[in-house]
Amino acid sequence: MPRSGTSAPAETALVAQRLAQLLDQHPPGDSEDLEFGGAQYDLGLAWVDFPQGSGGLAVSRRHQRTVSNVLAKAGASVANVSRNVIGYGMGAPTVLAHGTPEQRARYLRPMFTAEEVWCQLFSEPGAGSDLAGLSTRAVQDGDEWIVNGQKVWTTLAHTSTWGLLVARTDPDVAKHAGLTYFIVDMRGEGVEVRPLRQITGEAEFSEVYFTDTRIPDANRLGARGEGWAVSITTLMHERVAIGSAPMPRGGGAIGEAVGLWKDRGLTDPVKRDQLAALWAEAEALRLTNLRATQMAGVGTPGPEGSTGKLQWAELQKKIYEFAVGLLGPEALAYPSTYEEIRPNEAASGRRDTQKNFLRSRANSIEGGTSEIMRNILGERVLGLPREPRPDKGIPWKDVPR
Ligand SMILES: Cc1cc2nc3c(=O)[nH]c(=O)nc-3n(C[C@H](O)[C@H](O)[C@H](O)COP(=O)(O)OP(=O)(O)OC[C@H]3O[C@@H](n4cnc5c(N)ncnc54)[C@H](O)[C@@H]3O)c2cc1C
């Protein structure tokens, strides 16, 4: 649907004109990534559905695919996006939806160029699926907040400049009502980042400790007590970013499995049948995601984003189980001595089938587990009876834990 009174052909023409201008003035081969990314933002091609002046053109989100395709063909780098996946996919829409004009102007451009990398400080040792039960405390002190607590599984905390933090500001009200959302300086005083090593050997995420960390009130995102609503924006975009990333036909995990099949000249008819069934599932998911993107307007995606996340996570695991099966005994020869690697360029560094198999086990946990996705779909899409909520309406401080 064309938006802002602009017709669909006018939107297409505007995007094409800006792309031509970008490539003409900043030929990818001759431009530094930073310069190119900055120009892409200034021309409104960072997030095309964002308003003009905030990295967008206020046109339908579906044009972003055209931008990606044209820039990929021209050889433009996407290192800024892979280095800053959380900022690009989750931080930006959250700052846009809930930030003040000053916050948008301050954060969005360096977020897009990845001059400033972002991380998400939501999960805690006692609060993952039950995120609204979190305990990290923020207490107001004049124009500042003092934060104490611990976060965990914080992807890219070690490379981040800024963190998206949700903390408890009022323990006397029910759990969802007592939260506030902040932007925290990851290099500030009282922030300690400790690596956590995964099954792959890599430490792409960390535990983060806050000890009397001071955050200026100007870094609050949304009103005091509105942290849950702001968090929902981040979470919905997280699910879409994880489960619905644009993929060429036969690309991604299924492409890797087909590649292995071909490279090894395999012929087993049973395995071929299994591969074909996985390919069909992957293609159905790709087309469903494509349709969802085409139909998407602007703003926060709905609970339907959970469908893509759920299907993607379960399919990734199935495909990589199948792929390591094709490797046979060779699959056991994992090419790593489990040295601790801290990837800097992307959330996940080295790529090979064994590692991808191990990493895929996390797909049904990160961004909300498959059980939680099913709960959301059951309750909010299908309208089934809700789970019992024994802590509903009870002040957070009185909930047994
Ligand atoms: C690779 C990876 C990267 C991550 N990156 C980040 C990050 O950058 N920032 C961040 O904040 N967090 C991050 N996380 C954390 C992630 O969001 C949580 O692990 C996830 O939400 C689950 O929480 P939990 O680990 O506390 O498990 P729990 O909530 O303790 O769940 C344990 C098990 O119980 C099940 N369960 C829990 N409640 C229910 C229920 N009501 N109904 C049915 N089953 C239920 C779960 O499905 C799961 O199987 C990451 C996790 C991974 C694996």
Q: Return the residue whose CA atom lies nearest to atom 44 of ligand 1.
A: 371
Question: For a pocket test of ligand 1, which of 366, 370, 389, 391 has the largest count of ligand atoms closer than 8 A to its C-beta?
Answer: 366
Residue 187 near residue 161 (C-beta atoms within 8 A) = yes
Residue 28 has pLDDT above 70, yes or no: yes
Backbone angles phi, psi at 285, to 5 degrees: -65, -45
C-alpha of residue 372 to centroid of ligand 1, in Å: 9
Set 116, 202, 204, 238: catalytic member:
238
Tokens of 141: 């002190």
DSSP β-ladder status, 137-141 and 144-155: antiparallel
Backbone angles phi, psi at 131, to 5 degrees: -60, -40
Backbone angles phi, psi at 14, to 5 degrees: -65, -45
User: Which atom of ligand 1 lies closest to the CA of 369?
Assistant: 47
Whole-number Å distance between alpha carbons of 368 and 189: 30
Residue 281 near residue 216 (C-beta atoms within 8 A) = no
Q: What is the DSSP letter of 174?
A: B
Measured at the CA of 337, the angle between CA 333 and CA 342, to 5 degrees, comes to 125
Residue 382 has pLDDT above 80, yes or no: yes
C-alpha of residue 126 to centroid of ligand 1, in Å: 10
Q: Return the residue whose CA atom lies nearest to atom 35 of ligand 1.
A: 371
Tokens of 82: 């892979």
The beta-strand segments (E) located in 103-186 are 118-121, 137-141, 144-155, 162-168, 179-185
User: Which atom of ligand 1 lies closest to the CA of 155?
Assistant: 8
- CB count within 10 Å of CB 52 equals 11
Measured at the CA of 144, the angle between CA 140 and CA 145, to 5 degrees, comes to 45
User: Which atom of ligand 1 lies closest to the CA of 151?
Assistant: 11
Backbone angles phi, psi at 193, to 5 degrees: -110, 120
Q: pLDDT class for 124, splitting at 50, 70, 90?
A: very high
Residues 6+ apart with CB under 8 A from 291: none
Name the strand (E) or helix (H) holding 44.
none
pLDDT in tens, 265-288: 999 999 999 999 999 999 999 988
Residue with tokens 């797909």: 363
Averaged pLDDT for residues 228-257? 87
Question: What rounded mean pLDDT belongs to the chain?
Answer: 91
Q: Return the residue whose CA atom lies nearest to atom 48 of ligand 1.
A: 369
Q: What is the CA radius of gyration of the chain?
A: 22
Q: What is the DSSP letter of 386?
A: P
User: Which atom of ligand 1 lies closest to the CA of 198?
Assistant: 1
Q: Is 238 a catalytic residue?
A: yes
Residue 394 has pLDDT above 90, yes or no: yes
pLDDT in tens, 60-72: 888 998 999 999 9
Q: Return the residue whose CA atom lies nearest to atom 22 of ligand 1.
A: 128
pLDDT in tens, 327-337: 999 888 877 66
pLDDT in tens, 142-201: 999 999 999 999 999 999 999 999 999 999 999 999 999 999 999 999 999 999 988 888
- CB count within 10 Å of CB 104 equals 19
Residue 135 near residue 169 (C-beta atoms within 8 A) = no
CA 314 to chain CA centroid, nearest Å = 18
Residue with tokens 């029910």: 174
pLDDT at 302: 67
Question: For a pocket test of ligand 1, which of 154, 166, 369 has the largest count of ligand atoms closer than 8 A to its C-beta?
Answer: 369
Q: Return the residue whose CA atom lies nearest to atom 18 of ligand 1.
A: 128
pTM value is: 0.92
C-alpha of residue 124 to centroid of ligand 1, in Å: 9
CA 239 to chain CA centroid, nearest Å = 7
Q: pLDDT class for 118, splitting at 50, 70, 90?
A: very high
Residue 372 near residue 129 (C-beta atoms within 8 A) = yes
Whole-number Å distance between alpha carbons of 154 and 313: 19
C-alpha of residue 365 to centroid of ligand 1, in Å: 5
pLDDT at 2: 43
**DSSP 3-state assignment of 200?**
coil
Residue 153 near residue 204 (C-beta atoms within 8 A) = no
- The proportion of the chain whose per-residue pLDDT surpasses 70, expressed as a percent, equals 92
